Amino acid sequence: MTTSTHETRIDVDPEVPLVRITREFDAPPEKVFRAHTDPELFAQWVGPRDTETRVDVFECCTGGSYRFVTISDGEEYGFRGCFHEVRPDELIVQTFTFEGDPDGVALEKLVLEDLGDGRTRLTSTSLVDSFAGRDAFVASGMEVGVREGYERLDEVLTRS
């Protein structure tokens, strides 16, 4: 297991119902992008350490869609969405829906910034339709999933 030296920042905006996540990786943008778009790699790192991920559909291209299931303690949780814009090594815009709350759709934008020397800054924003929805999203345990997921991503990036 690799221990990350990078902080995952999770900020909520007081003016707009969004969550912003910022994280740096010791890998170039093309490797970070590939880990977000290759279903085999994606399944290895997304979510908390105590979960397993099964990818059912993953067409990461402009106009494509995805569905994956996380499995924890025998329970399955489905997530799905559509890719609105995908630009290799720099941008993914998608929707995100937890199937347990199908009315709660987030619009997500992931931007990869090349920091040079084989390093990348990832900035992800998730915009929902209400402050209550945003606060429920944050209270759902997403913080643990994001932090542990990015620690797992560090490990995937060192192997791939």
Every domain of the chain and the residues it spans: 11-158
Q: What is the mean pLDDT of the chain?
A: 93
> Against a cut of 0.75, is the pTM above it?
yes
Q: Residue 113 above 60 pLDDT?
A: yes
Residue 141 has a pLDDT of 78
**11-158 maps to CATH 3.30.530.20:** yes
* Chain CA centroid to CA 68, Å: 12
Beta strands in 6-138 (DSSP E): 9-12, 18-25, 52-58, 65-72, 75-87, 91-98, 105-116, 119-127
Q: Residue 41 above 50 pLDDT?
A: yes
pLDDT digits (tens, 9 = 90+) for 75-107: 999 999 999 999 999 999 999 999 998 998 999
Tokens of 30: 């093309």
Tokens of 44: 């290895």
User: Looking only at Cα atoms, what is the longest distance across the chain?
Assistant: 42
Residue 5 has a pLDDT of 58
Residue 137 has a pLDDT of 81
pLDDT digits (tens, 9 = 90+) for 136-145: 888 887 888 8
